[in-house]
Amino acid sequence: MMKTSTPLGAAEGKPGDRSAFSFETQTRLESRSDGFGKDGARYGRTGTIHTPHGDIQTPTFIPVATQGAMKAVLPEQMKELGAQCLLSNAFHLFERPGDEVVDEAGGLSRFMNWDGPTYTDSGGFQVLSLGAGFKKTLAMDVEGMKSDDIIAEGKERLAFVDEDGVTFKSPLNGEKKRFSAEISMRIQHNIGADMMFSFDELTTLMNTRRYQEQSVERTFRWAKRCVAEHRRLTEERLGKPYQALFGVVQGANYEDLRRLAASQIASLDFDGVGIGGAIEKRLLGQTCAWICDAMPESRPRHVLGIASVDDIFSAVENGGDTFDCVAPARCGRNGAVFTHRGRWNIKRAQFKHDFEPIEAGCDCYACRNYSRAYIDHLLRAREMNGYTLATIHNEHFFITLLADIRKAIEGGYFDEFRQETVTHFYENGSRG
């Protein structure tokens, strides 16, 4: 096993040192009359998140290693293409191999041979994906329908919410599993990521206003329980590095509910904030700004689950520091690749005899060494190398995009860079 660096803030026989985690702002976007925040504020910024396993320069894209692994790509390759941090799914690691196994291995970073910071989500996403059955949660486009019993087509409800928590039917073996604020905290402490999220209820845009109100209050009650249990476990688990806890703001499309939820989460002793839940695409920027209006500047802001180019620019402008999404890897495995001229499918017939790289000028490993024709062949033959190369390219695209946005903010040309990038990306349509 690779010798990962000793995490900061861990001392034998002592609780994790909270000072090993912090955030500092470096450059802020200037306010202006059309800014969505208070007094025209645009909360976009560059900064540094200091964690026990290393620093993260923001804004940045965080690839999703759902089960403690990037599908078809090794951690060393992720580091080479510029990833600063990885995010794993607490629910799936609880299902297998079990959070106790990850704890025994020395925590998530050491378990998956990743010498860098990590996030885990809380299991809250599964409240939606196993409940209503929807997969896409942010920047949704919906019309009209309101129902608290809505189910995605062809899906069965596998998650049931009550005041104390959620009962899941395991997608692996059908067994009933229980998650609550305290259980989620225990699992995430065992997994040992540098940053973790409080347990929340993720709703859909189709839920009624009344249900959204109830859900916001329930998430707040769960958040208070998470803070208390996190504090207890930090004191109990001696010799471990401190794990930062992020509260999650819900409230769907409703400005008053988003502002209420943001003020509730801001009032608790969290280290950061997750901007979560379903958000209609046209309101993504405003929603981020409403939340940032209430948040202390010292708390990093993670936007959960987006990977559309225009959405990323909107979220960065309005305060997002870090972003995660499964889309780059999932799309790559299906042949969809992201380029500066848009997203297209490499398995089109026209690429069978095309020996150029996926994107001219791209310096990722796939583009430096392999052709469209070869990657098309691998994907059609269902060879794992095809998944690897397409994923490397797509993850590199988003990691590089966020790195370039960071440079643009620091250099004072964010608005010009946004206009140029979005125009070129969508010049052949809205796909992406």
What are 283-315's pLDDT values in tens digits? 999 999 999 999 999 999 999 999 899 999 999
Binding site annotation covers 122? Answer: yes
Residue whose C-alpha is closest to residue 415's, from 423, 297, 306: 423
Q: What is the pTM of this model?
A: 0.93
Residue whose C-alpha is closest to residue 234's, from 89, 50, 20: 20
Report which of residues 408 and 133 the model is more confident about: 408
Residue whose C-alpha is closest to residue 83's, from 401, 404, 409, 395: 395
Active site residue 103: no
Binding site annotation covers 226? Answer: no
Active site residue 121: yes
Catalytic-role residue among 99, 103, 121, 293: 121
Cβ atoms of 157 and 176 within 8 Å: the answer is no
pLDDT tens for each residue of 273-285: 999 888 889 999 9
Q: What is the mean pLDDT of the chain?
A: 92
Binding site annotation covers 376? Answer: no
Task: Quote the pLDDT of residue 159.
Answer: 79
Task: Quote the pLDDT of residue 108.
Answer: 98
* Domains defined for the chain, CATH in brackets: 21-324 (3.20.20.105), 326-420 (no CATH)
Question: What is the helix (H) or strand (E) element at residue 48, kind and residue range?
Answer: strand 45-51
Binding site annotation covers 35? Answer: no
Task: Quote the pLDDT of residue 104.
Answer: 98
Residue whose C-alpha is closest to residue 276's, from 406, 395, 139: 139
Binding site annotation covers 250? Answer: yes
Cβ atoms of 233 and 181 within 8 Å: the answer is no
Catalytic-role residue among 194, 311, 321, 324: 324
